[in-house]
Every structure is written in C-alpha cells, then in structure tokens.
Amino acid sequence: ELNAQVEGADASFAARTNPTRAANYTQIVRVDFQVSGSDRESNAAGFQDRYTYEMQKAMKEWRRDAEYSLVRGTMISGSGSASRQMAGIKASITTLNTSQSGVSFGENILNDYLQNAWSQGGNVDTVLVGGRLKRRISGFTSSNTRFVDADKEKMFAAVDVYESDFGRVEMVKHRYITVSGDVHNDVVGIEKSKWAVAHLREPKYVPLAKTGDSEKGMIIGELTIEARAENSSFIGQRHA
C-alpha cells in the first residue's frame, strides 16, 4: 500500500492488532524396557550388557516416536484416562492447507505452493515428502538432465536442492510424511525458522524399582512443536 503524506499534516494512529499465541499441548513420550537377571548375566552376541543395550535402543525408539508425533500428531487435551497429545506440523498448518483429492503432483503445483507461502510473507526453505513424491521431484529435470560429479565420475539422478522462483528449497525425503495405510501422498513445505521443538522435560533415563528377577527402566520426556507462524508454510494433501 502506498504511503504518501500531506506536507505539514499531523500524525494519525491506526488501530494495532495484538499478536495471538498459537495453542498446543506438551506430550509425554515414554519407552519402557525390562531385562531379566538371566538375560543380563548371559554372554550375548554383539554386546556386553543386555540392560545397557536395551537402554540405548529405548532412547533411539524415544526419538523416533517423538519425531512421529512432531510430524503427524493431532492435538488432544487429555484427561485422567486419556493421554495428552500435541498437534504436529501437518495438523498445525491451517492457512495454506490444500486437499488435492488425487491430483497428480508436479512442478507447477509445487511452485504454486511456494508462491502461496511467499504471498503470506513466508520463505519456504524445506519441502518434506515421502518416497513416491521424492522420486517425482527427482524427475522434474527430465531423464535427459542429470547432475554429474566430474571428479568422481558419478551421475546423480536425485534432486536434493531445487532452485525455484521463490528461492532455494531443500528437498527432504521423510518417512513420516506419508506412512503405510495412507491412501494418497502429502507434501509439506516449511520455513524452518518459524518452527521449533520445545521440551518441557528433556528425555532422560529413569531406573524403576526392582521387583522380582528383573531390572526395569524407562526413557521419558515431554515436548511439543512451536508453530511461530504457520501461514509461512504449506501442506498439499492427497496427491496422486
């Protein structure tokens, strides 16, 4: 909007809009493990101590479960008998949320998504897709154009960085954008600076009381996703 003022005019003050905080819940993520006395004393292949081995596996499982919720979680307030759940990235994007109902994903559609985010003031720098759409993106340059590393004499068919009219975009293949059971394929574009993972409790190992002939522990933490400006990002759902 053009800002041009009359010479000598007094200042005028337009009404200002107060910012609002996006709501989300923290989610408790916990992975329990238990090792019997016999298992801990046995000479197992691949590791020395079964309990330490299971603890390390539980931490990796915790991170995987947390990442799944950060991407795909649906916000639930919870109760004394129901767990509290965060809204993940996919559920948090509401302004630029498009259902394509089987429309084939292509380069023009991707650029439309990027332009829509740019029109909202965003600068999408990362696009997250499943394996099927990642292969589609890698074909944008056609079969006659490939990136060749002359030093290593290798030919690269994958497109990992896309130079769009709206900036350079990293193309990331992510396991949880589309999972087994999803009928169609989704594409998510984010401006990374507008998203953050917030921990109420960092994940940690907690030993549990010993009962019987076993030792028990858990990895527990509590976290959520911060959507600092969800309209800077987009999601295209149900692509063919």
Among 212, 206, 220, CA closest to 35: 212
Task: For residue 172, list its beta bridge partners.
Answer: 128
| Average pLDDT of span 64-84 | 96
pLDDT band at 152 (very low <50, low <70, confident <90, very high): low
- The string of pLDDT tens digits covering residues 90-142 is 999 999 999 999 999 999 999 999 999 999 999 999 999 999 999 999 888 64
The mean of the pLDDT values for the chain is: 91
pLDDT band at 147 (very low <50, low <70, confident <90, very high): low
Q: Are 69 and 88 in contact (CB under 8 A)?
A: yes
Q: What is the 3-state secondary structure (H, E, C) of 38-89?
A: HHHHCCCCCCCCHHHHHHHHHHHHHHHHHHHHHHHCCCECCCCCCCCECCCH
Residue 144 clears pLDDT 50, i.e. is over it: no
Instruction: Decide: helix, strand or coil at residue 126.
Output: strand
pLDDT at 166: 93
Distance of CA 117 to the CA centre of its chain: 17
Q: Are 25 and 61 in contact (CB under 8 A)?
A: no
- The string of pLDDT tens digits covering residues 182-225 is 989 999 999 999 999 999 999 999 999 999 999 999 999 999 99
- The string of pLDDT tens digits covering residues 14-52 is 899 888 888 999 999 999 999 999 999 998 888 889 999
Residue 148 clears pLDDT 60, i.e. is over it: no
Backbone angles phi, psi at 118, to 5 degrees: -65, -40
pLDDT band at 154 (very low <50, low <70, confident <90, very high): low
Task: For residue 221, list its beta bridge partners.
Answer: 29
pLDDT at 19: 83
Q: How many Cβ atoms from other residues are within 10 Å of residue 185's Cβ? A: 23
pLDDT at 45: 84
pTM: 0.87
- The string of pLDDT tens digits covering residues 131-142 is 999 999 988 864
pLDDT at 157: 59
Instruction: Decide: helix, strand or coil at residue 232.
Output: helix
